[in-house]
Chains A and B, each alone.
Chain A
Amino acid sequence: MTRLALSAALALALVLALLLGAAGPALADEAPPEPPATTEFRSAPEPAANDFEALLASCDQKLTRCEKENGVGYLGAAYIAIWVILLVFFVATRMKQARLVAEMQELRARLAKLTEERAG
């Protein structure tokens, strides 16, 4: 039963991977062209104070970035979400574990008492 389930699972996974691999490029050919994916992240340069041309270019870039500055709220929300999720998970696990340890200690005490009674 397990062997059959295991073989079926592996075969299905393999077939799915092959199908997706074969169909993918064909589907991509028919799709309308998309904007290219970003492949690099570069820091914004800080021009020298006497380089007016660079200062003007920097202003243009800053203006473009300003259109996206509303992203600061999303940035804050993202980092708050990350920390809340991690903290809740960590604290919940620790609390459950502490409760289990206490339960286990109580069970051990009960077992010891029962064994003692039986022996006596």
Chain B
Amino acid sequence: MSPSLPTTAARRPLVWMPYLLGAGLVASLVFVFFVAPTELKMGEVQRIFYFHVASATAALVGFIGCALASLAYLVLRMMRGYEVLARVADRLAVSFGEVGVLFGLIVLITGPLWAKPAWNTFWTWEPRLVLMLLTVFLFVGYLVLRGYAKTDDLGKRLAAGIAVIGGPAVYLIHVAVEMWGGNHPQVMTGQGGGLEPGPMRTTFALSLASLCLFAGYLVWQRYQHHRLVEQVDDAYLTLSDLEEQP
């Protein structure tokens, strides 16, 4: 077996991508601080909303992606002839999980920083906050187990099972305030006036698009990384086999 590198040519079409996405993020930041108006009741601190909600969306999409890819891995690995696809699903699941946890961490940091001036406390045990915290813990657990398992089949299956369990938690986070109450702002999902049309909506749309695209790019980067790790491992195995041959 001759290990092959993912060629630079294969990555070339996306060389410009980080610059474009970086420009998008900077543009969002400019809109957040210079275009979006100051909010009537909360004042300046409401500007956290634009990246906080966009990060939460990216985190939840990451968790759903991880759960679905894990489910695909568990199903595909049992089917004959789909081993390659099962490995792809496994790599995708880990990549989605990592990016989901990354954005989940951002949500858990920016949330309390917004809560302190708005609610006069960094943390309150309201349903949406608690569910988000637990879901991030669950996916951190998934990543730890998956990282520990490496190529061990049982460990990979157990980790995938944890990710599948985490899937419904995303729905529960989404409906938490409607189902169990709490004073978490319901601007995007509630029955109220929502976000004011004009600069506020434009800024939010730009932030959401740029952060979600950046999250997608990070998933792709992590996928490439895991593929490379597997290829390096395979190359070491081939090398040691060749060296042991008389």
Binding site for B on A (CB under 8 A): 1-3, 5-6, 8-10, 12-14, 16-17, 20-21, 24-25, 27-28, 31, 34-45, 61, 64-66, 68-72, 74-75, 77-79, 81-82, 85-86, 89-90, 93-94, 96-97, 100-101, 103-105, 107-108, 110-111, 114-115, 118
Report chain A residues within 8 Å CB of B231: 104
Q: Once the chains bind, are A43 and B225 in contact (CB under 8 Å)? A: no
The residue that B183 contacts in the complex, of A5, A37, A108, A111, with Cβ under 8 A, is A37
A65 CA / B200 CA spacing, docked (Å): 18
- Counting chain B residues whose Cβ lies within 8 A of the other chain, the interface size class is 35 or more
**Residue B205 lies at the interface, judged by CB distance under 8 Å to chain A:** no
- The answer to whether residues A96 and B225 also contact, given A16-B168, A44-B37, A104-B235 and a CB cut-off of 8 A, is yes
* Pair A13/B44 contact, Cβ less than 8 Å: no
Nearest neighbor of B42 in chain A, beta-carbon distance: A68
- Judge whether A108 and B117 touch: CB under 8 Å: no
Residues of A within 8 A of B47 (CB): 75
Instruction: Pick the contact of B182: A20, A37, A79 (CB < 8 A).
Output: A37
22 residue pairs A–B, Cβ–Cβ below 8 Å: A1-B157, A3-B78, A5-B161, A8-B161, A25-B179, A40-B194, A41-B42, A41-B49, A41-B185, A41-B187, A44-B37, A44-B39, A65-B43, A69-B43, A71-B43, A71-B114, A74-B113, A78-B51, A78-B52, A78-B114, A82-B109, A114-B239
Please give, as numbers and ranges, the residues of chain A lying within 8 Å of B48 by CB-CB distance.
Answer: 74-75, 78-79
**Cβ of B42: which chain A residues have Cβ within 8 Å of it?**
41, 65, 68, 71
Q: A38-B186, A39-B190 are in contact. Are A93 and B225 (CB under 8 A)?
A: yes
Query: Closest 4 CB pairs between A and B?
Result: A39-B192, A71-B45, A71-B117, A40-B193
**CB pair B106 A41 closer than 8 Å:** no
Does A9 lie within 8 Å of B164, measured CB to CB? Answer: yes
